[in-house]
Structure formats: structure tokens, C-alpha cells
Amino acid sequence: MSNLIIVESPTKIKTIKRYLSDDYEVVASKGHVRDLPKSKLGVDIDNNFEPKYVNIKDKEGVIKDIKKLAKKSDHVYLAGDPDREGEAISWHLALLLGLDLNDKNRVTFNELTETGIKAGMSHPRSIDINLVNAQQARRILDRLVGYKLSPFLWRKIRKGLSAGRVQSVAVKMICDRENEIRAFVSQEYWSIDGKFSANGERKTFAAKLNTVDGEKPELKNKEQADEILKRLEGAEFVIDKVKKSVHRKSPAAPFTTSTLQQEASRRLSFQARRTMKTAQELYEGVEINDMGQTGLITYMRTDSLRISDEARAAAYDFIRKKYGDKYIPDTPKKYKTKGNAQDAHEAIRPTHPEVTPDMVKASGVTSDQYKLYKLIWERFIASQMSNCLMDTVSVDISANGCNFKATGYSVKFDGFTVLYEEAKDDEGEKKNVLPPIKSGDSIKVRNLEGNQHFTQPPARYTEASLVKALEEKGIGRPSTYSPTITTILERRYIQKEQKQLVPTELGKIVNKILTENFTDVINVEFTAKIENEFDEIAEGKEQWKQMIREFYGPFEKELEKKINKAIRRK
């Protein structure tokens, strides 16, 4: 009895073979083996958008080797990655090898561990043609848009330029933000800030003017600020109200593809491509002392927040041993996955929570692998820990009809923050430590001053904030964020200035032409709607060729009209 398992990446082979008997041979397709041709459209528009797939040129040797091994095997298992792309690769392989598409020969591994591999092998299924069709719909639609729009840009600007359904919307968002920044007119405003001390203490705390005669003040210039300061000269400042409460701060959810890319950008300054490359390595397996070649994280393309009971139990074991029972929550943490998310996989988490980042570092992994594993591991363990409890104090200070507000907090129980806190794009103000004070106490003003400020334009996108915006607007999916950003950087439509994404002159010109001529296609809402239709196809609720037909009819008419107009002008 001989069995052949076909995976996508060669680096998985060693990990998978460790856990299976000698009856199994493992070979890699090294990604796609068939695709649309590079030199022509490859879609028969007149024949119901039938794709004309060809064998990828530099994969002929790989295909030949796989066919030879398949011929000698009693069973062939298609183990492409557990997503739509992996399903399509498995389908293409099945057609090349003449396999029955109804046979249960498709296996998936959510994690490359002994448990994950044996679970995958014990539950083979037939190829999910709905997932394949969703991938085909995306590939063909992107080909049609890119192949038809790019020559329009050549005609209007110069040869060699390209357009794309998602990439052009991403460029538009970056250009729109740049236009907002340029159009922004800064407004002056003032604040009144005080330093106070209570009960004769020397230590001061900060408070800001909140209301004047019960209304929020709008101080637009120095004169208005000086009026308030004059009104407060010699006034008695009294503690009007002290409100104490306990604030519960919850841990962030485990990572999805999007949040991993955002946090790795903020904390590690990793580009999305670097994050995904490193995550792929951790998923496929690295050498760990006493464990051999092991997949360290679950599959890294996911927008699900689900966690298995086994993983939660393993996290609790670690937390209990390291920190004690009080760091385990009374009820398990459940994180709600967004409505349009694919829930086939778990969130990104360590496959062995007991394998700490220090253990991984000691095994001699690369610096990037260690840093990213540490981030994923800490985020996951913290997500299963107790809330942080903070004693918060809010103080109202009154003087001559003016109300100042001070807020502060102290940590009552550190909870998950003993291990990890989510980074923010804007970290906000530093904490304000307030002394023991009560209502009616008279306090001393140490300093009172007016401060000039100016309203700020919206911030330029960073990779982290662009990924967040794309996800929030429903543009693309976990697997598309990284290649989209990489493409628009490589085509020099945008560039990076420090961490900020800035449109180039070329990017602005391309965006202007596309948005002026193809408003419906280069459109955030329309692109999100198309993404939802891909999901409908994946669930078997919509026919992929019908969906493309409905898109292509109006698109082709508009394109023809614009090209004829451009010819007439010449």
C-alpha cells in the first residue's frame, strides 16, 4: 500500500513525514501548477467566460515528477493550504492527474503538528467546488479588469502601466487621504491647563478646564483664554465631586491575519509581506530542541477568532503554573468573529502553548521567527487571562463658575497586562496619579496657564492603518492585504516616507484617470460588494459565471465608450 500526499510548500514535507508511516510519500507542487496564460487574456468571453488554463511554464518538471509518483501510488491525497487558493490548487492537480473529483482525496491541516496532521488525514473529503469557484471568480474578474483597464492607461499616460480591481481602490484611498490633508485648514484653539496640589502636599496633579457656567468653552484665541485666566485670579478652588469606580480592561482577541499584520507593523516595524513570510515559516515548521521539525502556529490566513477547547485548556495549564489561579478568568473568554468572516479555521495561535518564546529562541530560529512567534504567543496567552482591574478616580474642581476635570487610575490587579498589552497608533496621554481627596476639600493652584493648539489634519495611512481600513471597508480578504500593498509599492504608485504611505506623482495621475473614467469600478462600496459576492459563491448561494456576466456587461460598455472618446480626441 503506497500513499502520496501533495502539499504546496517543500518546507512542509519534513514536518508531515515525521508523523506518518513509511507508507506515505510527500511531495510539493510549489504553489500553483496551472494558471491563466501570461501573454493573453485567457478567458473566453463569448463562451460564458470559460477560463483557458495552461500549465505554468517553469512547473513542467514538477508536474512530471508528481504524475510519475501518482501513477505508482494506490491513493493520492491533495493537501493544498486550507483556504480557497489551496482548494483551487488541489482541484487543478486533480484534473492534471485524472482523479475523480467526487473521491474523498482532499485533506487539510489547520496546524502542522502530530494532532493536526493525524486529524487531517483521518477526515479526507471531496474537493469543495464552491470554494474553487470563488477562487476562479476572483482570478478571472481580476484578469478581466487588469487586462482591459491597463491598455486604457497606456493610451492615456504611457505603456507598461497596470490597473487592478483591489490595488486601484487601495491607491485611491491613499490619494483621497492625501487630498484631505492638502485641503485641510488648521484652526487655532486654546485650552486652560492647571497643576493642583491637595492637603498641603507638594506633589501636583493635572486638570483641564471642562466647562464655564455649565457650557463647554470654545476658546479660539489668546484673548478669550486670557479672559478666563483673569476671571480665575484669586478664586478659591474647591473639590466639587469625586467619583471612584473599578474599570475592567479586557485583553485583545487572538490574532487574525489583519490584526497580526497591524500589530507586527506597529511593534516590530514589519511590512505586511515580511510578516506573512515569517508566519508561513512558523506554520510550516521549524526545528525545535527536543521536538524536531514542528509547526509552531496554526494556519495564518484567517479572519476567525475561534479557539479550540484543547488550545484553551493548554493555555490555562500554562497560566496556572506561571501566574496562579487568579489569572484564569471565571468564565472562558469568547471573542466574536465578524459577520462576513470565514470561520473555517481558528484564530492564529501557538500550536503548543507550553512552548515559550524563550524555548523557541534557544533553538536557534531566525530573529524574525522569534519576534513574530513571541508576539503571537503573548497575544494568545493574554487573550485567555483575567481582566486587568483599575481603580479609577474622576475629580471635578470648581472655581468662580469654572469647572476643571482630572482623571486618574491605579492598577488594582494587573491580570493579562502582566504579559501583554495591545499597541496603539496613538498611545494617548500618560496616566495622571491623583492623591487621596474628597468632596469639599480646598486645594491649591500651583500653576494655571492657557495653551495654544491647532487642529491637525487626518494622518496619512501606514501599512497597519491601511490594512485596518481595508478590512473595515470589506475590501479584499486576509490573503490579499499583503500582495496588494506590495504591488502598489513595486509599481511606484505609492512610496513610504518613514512609516507613512504617500502617493507618487504617477500614482496620483493613474488614480485621477481611473476615478474620472471608471467611477463604478474604482469604488470602495462596489469593491466591497464584489467581495461579498465571492463569499456567496463560496457558500454555494451564487453562480460564479452569472456573477461575472453581471459585472462584465456594464463594464465593457463603459470601457468601449471611454476608449472611443479618447480616440476621437486624438
- Cite the active site residues: 299
Task: Tell me the C-alpha distance between 375 and 300, whole Å.
Answer: 13
Q: Could you tell me the CA-to-CA distances from 345 to 300, 301, 353 in Å, in that order?
A: 9, 9, 17
Q: Is the dihedral of CA 351, 354, 358, 360 positive or negative?
A: negative
Q: What SS3 class is residue 198?
A: strand
Separation CA 355–CA 528 (nearest Å): 39
Residues recorded for the chain: 570
**What is the chain's percent helix, strand, coil content, to nearest 5?**
45, 20, 35
Is residue 248 a contact partner of residue 414, using CB atoms and an 8 Å limit? no
**φ and ψ at 210, to 5 degrees?**
-110, -50
**What is the Cα gyration radius of the chain?**
29
List of residues 6+ apart from 420 with CB closer than 8 A:
251, 252, 378, 379, 381, 382
207/198 Cα distance (integer angstroms): 13
Which three cell numbers mark 405? 476635570
Residue written as cell 483641564? Answer: 208
Q: How far apart are CA 212 and CA 405, in angstroms?
A: 12
Label the pairing between strands 237-249 and 442-454. Answer: antiparallel
Nearest to 279, CA basis, from 111, 425, 166: 111
Residue 329 to residues 245, 250, 388, Cα–Cα distance (Å): 20, 11, 11
Q: Map residue 443 onto helix, strand or coil.
A: strand
CA-CA distance, 525 to 232, in Å (whole number)?
A: 52
Q: Which of 320, 329, 317, 326 is nearest to 383 (CA)?
A: 329
Q: At what angle do helices 165-183 and 463-472 cross, to 10 degrees?
A: 110
